[in-house]
Structure 1
């Protein structure tokens, strides 16, 4: 496919493909795609390639093993990755590599992709991988953008794409407000199914973009923006294929004929679900999820604050309101620089020199927008009947306006394409596609995320902001901080946007992120989630008692995965046969991802 063909092909839609866009967002998605390709200068990769064979197995043996797998699953369900790597875009993303790679695109790349249709076929694949000691890397839909996308940590792994053929919504229970889904069910698809059934008494909770897997986002502990924003806390019941091929159900699912698998998460005995979250201990093939009752009304609101120094007093105001649920949803406190970038215009529209964009240029641009000039913006939502909302919103108003210069925006004056309305939809459980507009800030825009967690305190917010600003200034990168405020903690999500076709820009972004991880850890702030390339470094920051937690994780890995085949290296957890061979990525390992072989059996 040529560049023109790729740019001009229509956006895939539901229900035609599991990874498609709902029709209510089709025109918006077409426009988003157009802007992505307008800023793309990276040539289409036409290089013919041989499949990358994982270390530890000879090429001929690997190809024979793939032939055997084709015989088991059907040749059409096993694809060798010997074609040029195509980046695509959000709705047409690759499943062979990371479309927003921070390394050379041939580093974190799969050797083949397999497509199981059910749990039993996943078991077959796992047993096959154990037989030949081939590393496998499961993905749900591969849209884990900013954290590695669909790329396997070990180059040459066989990707198990669970989404293509395992994309059924197995149950939606309108009485219990629960659902049961397979890995290929996106937030878009779940929302559409609930609407089609007329279940308007139930909401879903969506992250910023709705194209990701409900299951995949949840087991990676992703977040959304309603009161049900902690997705892992809202799941109930897993079906898991272990690294040796056995299948288990957790919680009440272990009881044959049970009727509470999605209603009560714990069952009897040790609660094992946690070890399958952000790990490489099993492949989750089914997951239960709780759904939010329609609150009977909602109302979004937006406040702006003028100074960077307003961040500390704002957090002191937010904390008691959030803990008492006056501020009800996982809201965002977003910096004006990212707000300008979210308009979708290239950076060169405002500033063409190198180095971070000057504050006066950002504020001049902000002054021309419908929201007006500001430094911080709080996007929130109140839920419930009108009289309940009025009481809560009056309390919020009286507190927020204590900050000099604070302003409540009259949202009725904002045009339909203003970013505020995307936040309004997502906080009302309606998936959108607006969020990635800020990636168009650079040509060939890509992003990688710094995601530390802290208490909701002014001192912590100020310390993290100062740390992030200094690192971005050092590497000449524009700073996009946004605080996502949970119930008693907040995630600072800093998106580092870079040109993925520029080697120097990729290196600056990675060096900046490595500095941020180490410097944040020194101040007591750990990341809750990270990119594949940073997993070893982040894992090492959790070093209390001589790294006791990693020693525990490795014991579990060796017990559950004695042959070390399942997603080696994910979240910094390496099987025994890889340890001590240079596989861990550190600052000293530079831009390479591979180690020196694996131990012989």
Structure 2
């Protein structure tokens, strides 16, 4: 990005300059970043599938308090400048901190990074949106509190951001039980506390998620209907012992029985955390094996060439990563149950990690797919499907066929929940190749439509795919989207908060196909 900033649709240079002056009056000069001050790196799209400079902000605001957020929203409404809230974290295949509306001003909440409270008796913490999992873990450790942070392995992600995204990686992967009580600044600047927090002096705001009347928390998870400034998050008692494990199976068709076994163990409580099943080539990318270094380039890796990769990495065609935790007898019993459940799969190898090695469970979603190509990026599609081996195998077979027909390798993984599977499909592309970017976007659009045709909804989307995903939720003439638009227009009539996020556009931008 160079020269004059890319302004959001409908905002002229004069209005923008006046808004910047007003933002500086609220936050101070050093807390308002523009292209003239600093290249807005970290706020643009880390996976520029539509080309560098498309999903870019015109400026970034570094809010440090609830009052900052309220005053910034007041300025935004006055000048009609759209804001795009951003929290710490990577999520690079989903656009990172880039605004859905090109040229929107990023509202960076990372300075709001205080752990406000930890209740040792009832096991909850109250955090601001800039608190990361590392921050919260350090806070608990420094105070010697007997709790652990879920999910492990996400490190620098925002606790609030992950909770509101209902990300599918925690013990609460299929229920919104990670959070309890939130504080929200609405687009008009009003300040709301949900549930029991609606009392003037509540003693149970973070003990019980409901209050009197409707429960509004899920409106903001995820949403463009308000800025969550405080969140109560539930903690788990730290187990006395925890050991990671890996299960490798040798054949592609082993995915079905592997998923069935793991889902049963997850459902009956044997496994305390959701395991992840990763494809061989995704693990190869994570291990630093670039596509160009393998046989058969260019094009997808031939089926016959998977065996050398498996032998080199000592992995299977599918590799499941999880953890067992509890007292030593419980850990032994859990591990015995895992091995017994996997024994019917011929050639399955079960390996238990070292005792209490302190490592996080490997295999969680991340940026491994970027390493598959020398100048790699990736775009993610994330369907949710019923948690059966038959469904997993059918989805894998269909998606792999479409991906390979487009000249690409399947690099997918499945997070195994009690009831559902989260199918993470990163599609790698050469970020410097316009033709490859276009093919990748077309393929991902096809994957979204194909999932919907099979009755499967996509849960998360890169900004380039948000409208396409919203279009697939088409029951009764897109009644769900229309409901979102009605609520959006009621709470944000000026249309300044995260326009277009998750396919919900305010009236001022609706139908413009921005």
Structure-2 change in CA distance of 1:99 and 1:62 (3 Å): same
For structure 2, the residue ranges without an aligned partner over 5 or more in a row are none
The partner residue of 2:246 within 302, 306, 309 is: 302
The partner residue of 1:61 within 1, 15, 37 is: 15
What does 1:24-423 correspond to in 2, within 5 Å? 48-82=2-36, 85=39, 94-95=42-43, 97-141=44-88, 143-163=90-110, 165-199=111-145, 201-206=146-151, 208-225=153-170, 227-229=171-173, 232-351=176-295, 353-369=297-313, 372-409=314-351, 411=353
Structure-2 change in CA distance of 1:309 and 1:144 (3 Å): closer
Query: What's the TM-score, normalizing by structure 1?
Result: 0.81
Q: Say whether residues 1:425 and 2:372 are aligned partners.
A: no
Say which is worse superposed, 384-393 or 518-527, in terms of deviation. 384-393
- The structural deviation recorded for 1:86 is 6.8
Q: State the partner residue of 1:539.
A: 470
- The structural deviation recorded for 1:557 is 0.6
Q: Distance in 2 between matches of 1:223 and 1:425?
A: 20
Deviations 1:297-341 (A, max 9, x none): 223222211111112222333333321112331101111111111
Q: Distance in 2 between matches of 1:233 and 1:175?
A: 18
SS in 1 for 2:332: helix
- The structural deviation recorded for 1:162 is 0.9
- The structural deviation recorded for 1:412 is 5.5
Structure-2 change in CA distance of 1:263 and 1:466 (3 Å): same
- The structural deviation recorded for 1:159 is 0.8
8 Å contact kept, 1:425–1:432: no
- The structural deviation recorded for 1:149 is 0.7
- The structural deviation recorded for 1:193 is 1.4
Q: Distance in 1 between matches of 2:173 and 2:144?
A: 23
Say which is worse superposed, 281-290 or 389-398, in terms of deviation. 389-398
What does 1:9-28 correspond to in 2, within 5 Å? none
Structure-2 change in CA distance of 1:192 and 1:220 (3 Å): same
Q: Distance in 1 between matches of 2:354 and 2:162?
A: 33
For structure 1, the residue ranges without an aligned partner over 5 or more in a row are 1-46, 88-93, 584-593, 595-601
Deviations 1:62-117 (A, max 9, x none): 11221122122212211223478575xxxxxx12x112221122211111111121
Structure-2 change in CA distance of 1:444 and 1:259 (3 Å): farther
Q: Distance in 2 between matches of 1:311 and 1:186?
A: 33
SS in 2 for 1:528: strand
- The structural deviation recorded for 1:283 is 0.7
- The structural deviation recorded for 1:482 is 0.8
8 Å contact kept, 2:324–2:334: yes
The partner residue of 2:396 within 449, 465, 487 is: 465
Deviations 1:177-207 (A, max 9, x none): 11111111111111111111122x1000136
How many pairs align? 514
Structure-2 change in CA distance of 1:83 and 1:433 (3 Å): farther
